[in-house]
Amino acid sequence: MAAAGAEARGAWCVPCLVSLDTLQELCRKEKLTCKSIGITKRNLNNYEVEYLCDYKVVKDMEYYLVKWKGWPDSTNTWEPLQNLKCPLLLQQFSNDKHNYLSRVKKGKAITLNNNKTLKPAIAEYIVKKAKQRIALQRWQDELNRRKNHKGMIFVENTVDLEGPPSDFYYINEYKPTPGISLVNEATFGCSCTDCFFEKCCPAEAGVLLAYNKNQQIKIPPGTPIYECNSRCQCGPDCPNRIVQKGTQYSLCIFRTSNGCGWGVKTLVKIKRMSFVMEYVGEVITSEEAERRGQLYDNKGITYLFDLDYESDEFTVDAARYGNVSHFVNHSCDPNLQVFNVFIDNLDTRLPRIALFSTRTINAGEELTFDYQMKGSGDTSSDSVDYSPAKKRVRTVCRCGAVTCRGYLN
């Protein structure tokens, strides 16, 4: 965003730089001399418009109140419209104004006071929206810095003023709690020259190879996946290495408009029966899950995922530590299905949990799984941990499926 006052007066102006006039004004307000901050062409780059806060008309001239990036609100300045060169920020200002008006159902209401200044409630909303946008962008950057897979993570909220969650930490893999050890070295590795045709790791475990040549899962739900591991002779292109490569698709954590809070949608088409993401969190004992279950409210409880493949000693708690799967909502007619996976850890009490598409999922579609199918795939088992002491408060399901069971739990 550029403010080109200087340009209008024939002085130089580079996109994203502030006019010399404005700079001097900033210095005056901050009680700095231009010399003390060493004004040169180069460090004029420090003056970038962060967002637009307000609007007014004076003598038929339009002005916007500018928040300068890296400078406190006290240094905000009114800039005439012709000095503002960034169409994106102007567009956002206008969009936010219209959103506010449509929300308060006064679409045609006058937005300016008699003295031709914007109504304070509108300006307040626009500033909140701008701050939210910055916070969400920062969070998105952080998620992408932390993730270790190919697919990008986007964050979007066009619904309300909710910002990033305050107590959520992104992790890529299980985080064992003290006392739980996750063995990360397999005891067996194959020596196949072609893992697709030979007796490979799945055969060793007495099961079928989980994938076809197109990297799609071909085994029925409830059957475990045994992938090739670090002891295997095969390379990274082995057809039996899918979950271990992580999410390949660009996904978006978005604010749902049906009151479900955050949800996850795919930004690209996902083929049926394809690996989408892993469910990760803290690995805790079932006793600890019982304890946390009592502390958690209804929402917290929905993050507990019992590892009940062969035993029920452990639970994954994705409430505070998790990946994108933390934000995946429930549906009674889901497009993701849970599978138990063994790679470097062959301990059947501690399978990894992978979510595969059950059908083609188009770009823009929300991803969902059935919370009652967590783990074993048995709908009759209550895999979400409810303490007998805690009265079961049922959450009304908003999945909207024809076959909706009415409740999440």
Ligand X SMILES: C[S@@+](CC[C@H](N)C(=O)[O-])C[C@H]1O[C@@H](n2cnc3c(N)ncnc32)[C@H](O)[C@@H]1O
List active site positions: 279, 371
- Choose from Zn ion, ligand X, none: what does 201 bind? Cβ within 5-8 Å by kind: Zn ion
Binding part of the chain for Zn ion, among 42-50, 252-260, 309-317, 331-339 by CB under 5 A, reads 331-339
> Is 369 among the residues that bind ligand X (CB under 6 A)?
no
Question: Does the footprint of ligand X cover residue 143 (CB under 6 A)?
Answer: no
Query: Which residues carry a binding-site annotation for Zn(2+)?
Result: 190, 192, 195, 200-201, 228, 232, 234, 238, 332, 397, 399, 404
Which residue number places its CB atom closest to ligand X? 261
Does 195 sit near Zn ion (CB under 5 A)?
Answer: yes
Three-state SS string over 55-78 comes to EEEECCEEEEEEEECCCCHHHCEE
Binding mask 134-173 for Zn ion (x = CB under 5 A): ----------------------------------------
Determine how many CB atoms are found less than 10 A away from the CB of residue 349.
14
By the rule CB under 6 A, 390 interacts with ligand X: no
Q: Is 157 in the site for ligand X (CB under 6 A)?
A: no
Q: Name which of 402, 298, 281 is nearest 352 in CA terms.
A: 281
By CB under 6 A, residue 299 contacts ligand X: yes
195 binds, among ligand X, Zn ion, none (CB under 5 to 8 A by kind): Zn ion
327 contacts ligand X (rule: CB under 6 A): yes
Asked if 408 interacts with ligand X (CB under 6 A), we say yes
Distance between CA 352 and CA 375 in Å, rounded?
A: 10
Q: Least CB distance from residue 121 to ligand X, whole Å? A: 27
Give the pairing of strands 61-68 and 329-330: unpaired
- Verify binding: residue 217, Zn ion, rule CB under 5 A: no
Look at residue 69 and give the partner it binds from Zn ion, ligand X, none, a contact being a CB closer than 5 to 8 Å depending on partner kind.
none
Q: Does 307 bind Zn ion (CB under 5 A)?
A: no
Shortest distance, position 365 Cβ to Zn ion, whole Å: 16
Applying CB under 6 A, what is the total number of residues that bind ligand X?
A: 17
Sign (positive/negative) of CA torsion 10, 11, 16, 20? negative
- For 159-261, strand residue ranges (E) read 169-170, 175-176, 225-226, 251-255
Beta strands, E only, 179-248: 225-226
Do residues 339 and 328 make contact, with C-beta atoms less than 8 angstroms apart?
Answer: no
Helices (H) and strands (E) in the chain, counts: 7, 18
End-to-end CA distance of the chain: 49
- The verdict on 260 binding ligand X (CB under 6 A) reads yes
**Look-up of token digits 């049906």:** 258
Do 114 and 122 form a contact (C-beta atoms < 8 A)? Answer: no
Which H/E stretch holds residue 132? helix 120-146
372 binds ligand X per the rule CB under 6 A: no
The item of Zn ion, ligand X, none sharing an interface with residue 67, based on CB under 5 to 8 Å by kind, is: none
Count CB neighbours of 372 within 10 A. 20
Here the tokens at position 66 are 């500018």
- In the bound state with ligand X, the residue whose beta carbon lies nearer, of 147 and 241, is 147
Cα-only R_g, the chain: 27
For ligand X, the closer of residues 40 and 403 by Cβ is: 403
Binder of residue 303, out of Zn ion, ligand X, none (CB less than 5 to 8 A by kind) = ligand X
Q: Return phi, psi of residue 126, to 5°.
A: -60, -40
Residue (80 or 165) nearer to ligand X, CB? 165
User: H or E segment at 53?
Assistant: strand 49-58
As beta bridge partners, residue 252 has: 154, 265
Query: Using the rule CB under 6 A, is 302 a contact of ligand X?
Result: yes
Identify the helix (H) or strand (E) that includes residue 306. Answer: strand 304-307
Binding-site member from 232, 243, 264, 319 for Zn ion (CB under 5 A): 232
Pick between residue 83 and residue 331 the one whose CB is nearest to ligand X: 331
| Shortest distance in whole angstroms from residue 299 CB to ligand X | 4
Phi, psi (degrees; rounded to nearest 5) at 398 = -110, 25
Q: State the residues that interact with Zn ion by CB under 5 A.
A: 190, 195, 200-201, 228, 232, 234, 238, 240, 332, 397, 399, 404
Interface positions with ligand X (CB under 6 A) = 260-263, 298-299, 302-303, 327, 329-331, 395, 397-399, 408
